[in-house]
Structure 1
C-alpha cells in the first residue's frame, strides 16, 4: 500500500488529479485511512474530492447484499458523481 502523504512521498500539489469519489465503510482502520486520504487531498488547492462514508456497513457491503438500501444509495451517489463529471468534461 502506498502512502501519498508519507514523509518521503513526492508532493502532490502540482499533480493534476481528476475529480475523485472516495467511499468508505467497514472497519475503523480502513475507514480512517480512506477519510485521511480524502481530506488530505481536499486540503490541496484545486483537488476536487467527494468523501462518502457508510460507517454502519461492513466492508464490501454492496457485494454481500446488492439489493440493500445502502447499496441502492451507493449506486445513486456513483451515478450522480459520474453525471457531474460529464458536465465538467
Structure 2
C-alpha cells in the first residue's frame, strides 16, 4: 500500500509501485475515498491502476455473499488482472 493522502507522506515519484487493483462497493461508506486513492496514485505515478466499482454493493460484499453474481464477477476481474500482470509481479 502507498498513501498519497497524508500531508507528511513521502513523495511517491521515485518509488516503483506495482500495478494495483482498487475495488469498492458502490454503496459502501468509503467509496469516494477509494476512488480518490486510485485516481491520485494513477496521477502521481502514471502506473497501471485500475478502479472497479460494484454498483449497489456494500463493503465486503464478496465475503458476505461469496456465491453472488457480483462476487463471481469480482473473481474473474481479479484473475484477469493477475493474468495481465503476472510477468511484471
Give the TM interval when normalised to the shorter protein: 0.7 to 0.9
Corresponding position of 1:27: 28
* Aligned equivalents of 1:12, 1:45: Cα separation in 2: 7
TM-score, structure 2 normalization? 0.86
Q: TM-score, with normalisation over the residues of structure 1?
A: 0.86
Distance 1:49 1:3 in 2: 14
* Superposition misfits of 4+ residues, deviation over 4 angstroms: none
The match for 2:56 is 56
What is the root-mean-square deviation of aligned Cα atoms in Å? 1.8
Alignment of 1:38 with 2:34, yes or no, is: no
SS in 2 for 1:43: helix
Whether the 8 Å CA contact 2:4–2:40 is kept in 1: the answer is no
TM-superposed CA distance for 1:6, in Å, is 2.0
CA contact (8 A) 2:12 2:45 kept: no
CA distance in 1, matches of 2:67, 2:38: 27
SS for the counterpart of 1:66 is coil
1:67 corresponds in structure 2 to 67
Q: Structure 2: give runs of 5+ residues left out of the alignment.
A: none
